[in-house]
Amino acid sequence: MLNLVLFGPPGAGKGTQSQKLIEKYQLVHLSTGDILRNEIANGTQLGIEAKKLMDQGLLVPDEVVIGMISNKLDANRDARGFIFDGFPRTVAQAEALDALLLSKDTSISVMIALNVDDQELEKRLLLRGKDSGRPDDANPEIIRKRIEEYNSKTAPVANFYKSQAKFVSINGIGSIDEIFTEITKVADTF
Ligand code: AMP
């Protein structure tokens, strides 16, 4: 199986690159942000609780997102592989993901990080907020909070994969196709 973790701060281009990767490699796309927004749209209890945190730019609890990923892995037993987008976002999530994959006799192939500086991120997110309709993209304060959450809780996840020699970093500034080519160079080695 090809199991990729696409890593990077909000606005790095993970969603855009995921769309291209699932087409090329026939992977199942698992975006915890998308799953949570779907719960919100359906008005579920989980969605209502998650929205309170998401609207403030804060992470939702580990057990909530781990449970969601576990369900999706179970629901896609015949998948050729997965692309994890926006998950794992904490070291606890990374540990749980390793355990879940191990129980299915598979593992993460590689984490691919998209490198983009904070100034460029803020610019991209505010631009995206104009048509994404996402409340957390519309407010500069919330955007900064999300980047802060990323720097304090999510950035350490890179070390988790580095210690397993499963970490590759790519320049996330450039055209969508240029960045995609760099990602495929890594993915094609598996
Ligand atoms: P995203 O679409 O990945 O930018 O996620 C949007 C928001 O959903 C984040 O700011 C968090 O509030 C929440 N979220 C998404 N994925 C996770 C995760 N793996 N762990 C905790 N919170 C998450």
pLDDT in tens, 143-173: 999 999 999 999 999 999 999 999 999 999 9
Q: How far is the CA of 174 from the centre of ligand 1 (A)?
A: 25
Residue 34, pLDDT above cutoff 90: yes
Residue 40 forms part of a structural domain: no
Residue 59 forms part of a structural domain: no
Residue 69's contacts (CB-CB under 8 Å, 6 or more residues apart) are 30, 32, 84, 87, 96, 97, 100
Alpha-carbon torsion angle 110, 18, 115, 130, nearest 10:
-160
Residue 24, pLDDT above cutoff 90: yes
So what's the pLDDT on residue 133? 86
So what's the pLDDT on residue 66? 98
Atom of ligand 1 nearest to the CA of 85: 3
The sheet carrying 167-171 orders its strands as 28-31, 81-85, 2-7, 110-115, 167-171
Pocket test for ligand 1, best of 32, 51, 64, 90 (most atoms within 8 A of CB): 32
Pocket test for ligand 1, best of 5, 53, 59 (most atoms within 8 A of CB): 59
Range of the domain at 22: 2-27+79-187
Residue 36 forms part of a structural domain: no
**Ligand 1 pocket list (CB less than 6 A):** 10, 32-33, 36, 53-54, 57-60, 65, 86-87, 89, 93, 136, 146
Q: Hey, CA dihedral for 27, 33, 37, 40, is it positive or negative?
A: positive
Residue 132, pLDDT above cutoff 90: no
Residue 108 forms part of a structural domain: yes
What is the pLDDT confidence band of residue 59, given thresholds at 50, 70 and 90?
very high
Residue 90 forms part of a structural domain: yes
What is the pLDDT confidence band of residue 18, given thresholds at 50, 70 and 90?
very high
Give me the mean pLDDT over the 9-19 stretch: 95
For the stretch 83-116, pLDDT in tens is 999 999 999 999 999 999 999 999 999 999 999 9
| pLDDT, the chain, mean | 96
Total structural domains within the chain: 1
Residue 46 forms part of a structural domain: no
Residues identified as active-site? 14, 89, 128, 134, 146
What is the share, in percent, of the chain residues with pLDDT greater than 90? Answer: 92
CA distances to 56, 115, 137, 169 from 140, rounded to whole Å, are 11, 20, 8, 27
Helix (H), strand (E) counts: the chain: 10, 5
Atom of ligand 1 nearest to the CA of 36: 8
What is the pLDDT confidence band of residue 131, given thresholds at 50, 70 and 90?
confident
Residue 64, pLDDT above cutoff 90: yes
Which stretches of 47-92 are assigned E, i.e. beta strand? 81-85
So what's the pLDDT on residue 67? 97
Residue 145 forms part of a structural domain: yes
Considering only 34-43, 96-105, 119-128, which range has the smallest mean pLDDT? 119-128
Residue 48 forms part of a structural domain: no
CATH code where residue 122 lies = 3.40.50.300
Atom of ligand 1 nearest to the CA of 31: 3
Please give the Cα distance from 3 to 80 (Å, whole number). Answer: 9
If one compares 168 and 123, the residue with the highest pLDDT of the two is 168
